[in-house]
Each structure stands twice: as structure tokens, then as C-alpha cells.
Amino acid sequence: MEGYIIEWLSLLGRWAHLVTGIAWIGASFYFVWLDNSLEAPKNSSDVERGVGGEIWSIHGGGFYHAQKYKVAPPELPEKLHWFKWEAYTTWITGMFLISLLYWYQAEIYLIDPSVMALSKPVAVVLGMLTLLLGWIVYDLLCKSPIGTQEAKLSAAMFVFVSLAAFGLCQIFSGRGAYLHFGAMLGTIMVANVFFVIMPGQRDLVAAKAEGRAPDPSHGIRAKQRSVHNTYFTLPVLFVMISNHYAMTWGHEYNWLILIALSVAGALIRVFFVQRHHGKTQPLTLVLAAVLIMVVAAAIAPKPRAVVPLDSSVSAADVFAQVQGVMVQRCVACHADVPTQPGFAAPPKGVVLESADDILRQADTIYQQVVVTKAMPIGNLTQITDDERATIEQWFLAGAKAQ
């Protein structure tokens, strides 16, 4: 029953996280586009009222006319829409998921003894510290002397996130490391909203209401953090889907793959932001594509020729050994009714109880158990290198039962 309850909580949590994430990212992308697409107002009366830019657009069968004031309108409107809860609820639902899956079930998804033998409490504390320290280091970098020099700040941030990616992959399972890397970036993004962007906006509104000049530093910092957030978005989205692709986090150089694909995502976002300005520079898109292709080529499995079994060993004997490994190491999760705590259904619907099941899933078994070693997850069932070698021998001999 516990596994069934966790499954439902995971489903509802992911659903809510996806919905709120779409709302946050959609609003963020729209406002970045809007801000970068503004044109000088055509009407002199708008200029006199303090309008700094405007844009006309059409959507859903209607025309829209958006204007941005240089500082604030002559009078505050009765109703002012704030954009904050999209960010907050995305982070809250994300924290619910990381708590449910990666901390409550740390022994399954976060800890890999072959990477580092951690106790569950230590692993959870390290995960929490990752989120906290990520924000502290990032915020200190932004407030440091290089914080106003974007080129130097970007270089420092690249070094920081690269070290974080490498360090996490030396501590946690590949899947857990990727997730915490993305959660660290997501935490930085929402902390930017809570600690920098929103206070700046509140001060702007208060200054207008009180008839005093607003502090321009708030707007400068808020704009900087908003731009950073938009560049973090695609790397975070990659991490959100990465758990489905063990070829990335299950690789020996998973940390390098994480860095490369994160940089590719950021470059893609740079291209679109530049495009908003009318300064299309295909080089950034080309660099992103090259990075992705290099990663894909580098981690591609090497072709393996069929290797006949030694004449003293029959295919039936080898398959019997493979089936024994499946029963002992895999069927606890990959059964119609899993017996492994925390699983209400076989992961991805893969069942390995019968000989036909094993033969049908031969390619997947080889990829997940031998190539990436992503399975068994967290090596919960303590599969040995010899057992992986048996599966490899069977697969390279043609993956036969007889």
C-alpha cells in the first residue's frame, strides 16, 4: 500500500509541478521577449507621461497594446497584477517531489554505494545543503565586485556550476546528482524572485505611492537576476526530463555530459534572447548544436560483434544463469506485482518474470545493466560485476534461450 500511495503522490506532485512550471516559464519567456521587443513610443503624449517603450501584438483574435514606463506611471492603477506565485508554487511542488522521491526514498534514488557509501540522513542533509549553498555562492558572486561585469560574472558562474556538477556526481547516484543540480538552479531562480526581484518591485510601488524617487539600484539588480533566470531555464528543463535517459546520468563521465548539455541549453536561450533584440547570431545556436552532437557521438555505444559461446558452454546454460540473475536482482521491481518497497508497478512497465519477458527486453537489459549500469537502481539488489559480465556474454552471443 505504501508504494501505491507514493505512486499517487508522485503523479499528483509531478502534474502540479508541470502545470506551475509552465505558468512560470511561460510568463518569464513572455516578459523577456516583451522587454527586448519594445519600440520607442510613437505618440509624444505617451513620452510625456513617462512611457519608455511600447509594442503592438495580436493573439486569439484580438489586438494588444503593451507599454512600459521608464520608472512608473503618473498614477498607480487600482489593480496591479504581480507575477510571483507561478515561481513560488513551482518551487514548492518541486520541493515536494524531491522530498518524496529523493529524500524519503534516498536509498533508492539518491544513494549509490558504488559512488559513495552514504547513510540516508547524511545523503538528505547533503542534498539540502546543495540547494542552500548554491544560492549563497551565486548571490555572493552577484554582489561581489565582478557582479557588474557580466562577462567575468558569467565565467565565474560557469566555473561554479561546473564544480557543482562534478562534485554532485562524485557523491550521489547519477540520477540523484542531476536532479539536485537542477534543483539548485531552480532554487537560485526562485530565490532571485523572492529576495531580489519582488523587493525591488515593492519598493518601486511604495516609492510611487509615497511620492519619493525610487532607488534605481533595485531595478538594475532585478533586471540582472531576471536575465540570469531565463538562461537557467533550459538547463533546468533538461534535468527535469533527464531521469528518463540513463545514457546521460549513467555514463562514466556523467558530470561532463551534464555541464555540456547545460551549456548547450543556455546557448539556445541566448540565441532567442538575441533574436528578440533583432540581433540574430546563428553562431550561438550552431555552438549549442555542435555541443549536443559531440556528446551524442562521445557516449554512443560501440558496435559489438556477435561472440559465439565457448563450445563447452551451451546457450541454454548461459540463459539459465541470466534468468537467475533477473530473478535475484531485477524481478523485485520488474514484476507484475513488485515486492520492492516503494514500487506499486514495474518501472516503465518492464516485466522480467518469464523467459519470454527477458528475451523481449534483451536490448534494454544490456543497455541498462551492462552499458550504463543504471540498473538495478541504486544497485539496491547488489548485482555483481560477474553477473553483469554473464549478461554481456549472453547478449553478445545472440541473446538466445536455447
66's enclosing H/E stretch is: strand 62-69
| Three-class secondary structure assignment of 6-30 | HHHHHHHHHHHHHHHHHHHHHHHHH
Do 251 and 167 fall within a single domain?
yes
Residues 6+ apart with CB under 8 A from 91: 186, 187, 190
Query: Does 180 map to a domain?
Result: yes
CA 336 vs CA 41, 304, 330, 333, 353: distances in Å: 65, 32, 12, 9, 8
Do 141 and 171 fall within a single domain?
yes
- Given a contact cutoff of 8 angstroms between Cβ atoms, the answer to whether 293 and 207 are in contact is no
Q: Which among 264, 298, 332 is the end of a domain? A: 298
pLDDT attached to residue 7: 87
Total domain count, the chain:
2
- Given a contact cutoff of 8 angstroms between Cβ atoms, the answer to whether 369 and 391 are in contact is yes
- Given a contact cutoff of 8 angstroms between Cβ atoms, the answer to whether 164 and 130 are in contact is yes
Least confident of 8-17, 278-287, 326-335: 278-287
Do 356 and 294 fall within a single domain?
no
- Given a contact cutoff of 8 angstroms between Cβ atoms, the answer to whether 352 and 12 are in contact is no
**377: nearest Cα among 180, 106, 6, 11:** 106
| Three-class secondary structure assignment of 174-243 | HHHHHHHHHHHHHHHHHHHHHHHHHHHHHHHHHHHHHCCCCCHHHHHHHHHHHHHHHHHHHHHHHHHHHC
Q: Which among 298, 326, 356 is the end of a domain? A: 298
Do 198 and 338 fall within a single domain?
no
Do 339 and 268 fall within a single domain?
no
For residue 362, the tally of other CB atoms under 10 A from its CB is: 16
- Given a contact cutoff of 8 angstroms between Cβ atoms, the answer to whether 239 and 174 are in contact is no
Do 231 and 362 fall within a single domain?
no
- Higher pLDDT among residues 144 and 372, named by residue: 144
Q: In angstroms, rounded to a whole number, what is the distance separating the alpha carbons of residues 10 and 162?
A: 30
Do 125 and 198 fall within a single domain?
yes
Q: Where does residue 35 rank: exposed (0-12), middle (13-18), buried (19+ CB within 10 A)?
A: middle
Do 128 and 88 fall within a single domain?
yes
Query: Does 48 map to a domain?
Result: no
pTM score, whole prediction: 0.90
- Given a contact cutoff of 8 angstroms between Cβ atoms, the answer to whether 135 and 191 are in contact is yes
Do 108 and 197 fall within a single domain?
yes
Instruction: Give the pLDDT confidence of 221-237 residue by residue, as tens digits.
Output: 988 999 999 999 999 99
Residue 376: domain span: 315-396
Q: Which among 266, 298, 330 is the end of a domain? A: 298
Instruction: Give the pLDDT confidence of 99-119 residue by residue, as tens digits.
Output: 999 999 999 899 999 899 999
Do 319 and 292 fall within a single domain?
no
Do 103 and 152 fall within a single domain?
yes
Query: Does 54 map to a domain?
Result: no
Q: Please calculate the CA angle 233-239-243 and round it to the nearest 5 degrees.
A: 155
CA 26 vs CA 29, 65, 103: distances in Å: 5, 19, 29
Query: Does 308 map to a domain?
Result: no
Query: Does 359 map to a domain?
Result: yes
Query: Does 304 map to a domain?
Result: no
Do 327 and 271 fall within a single domain?
no
Instruction: Give the pLDDT confidence of 302-351 residue by residue, as tens digits.
Output: 777 767 777 667 888 889 999 999 999 999 999 999 998 888 889 888 99
Query: Does 66 map to a domain?
Result: no
Average of per-residue pLDDT values in the chain: 92
Q: In angstroms, rounded to a whole number, what is the distance separating the alpha carbons of residues 174 and 375?
A: 11
Query: Does 55 map to a domain?
Result: no
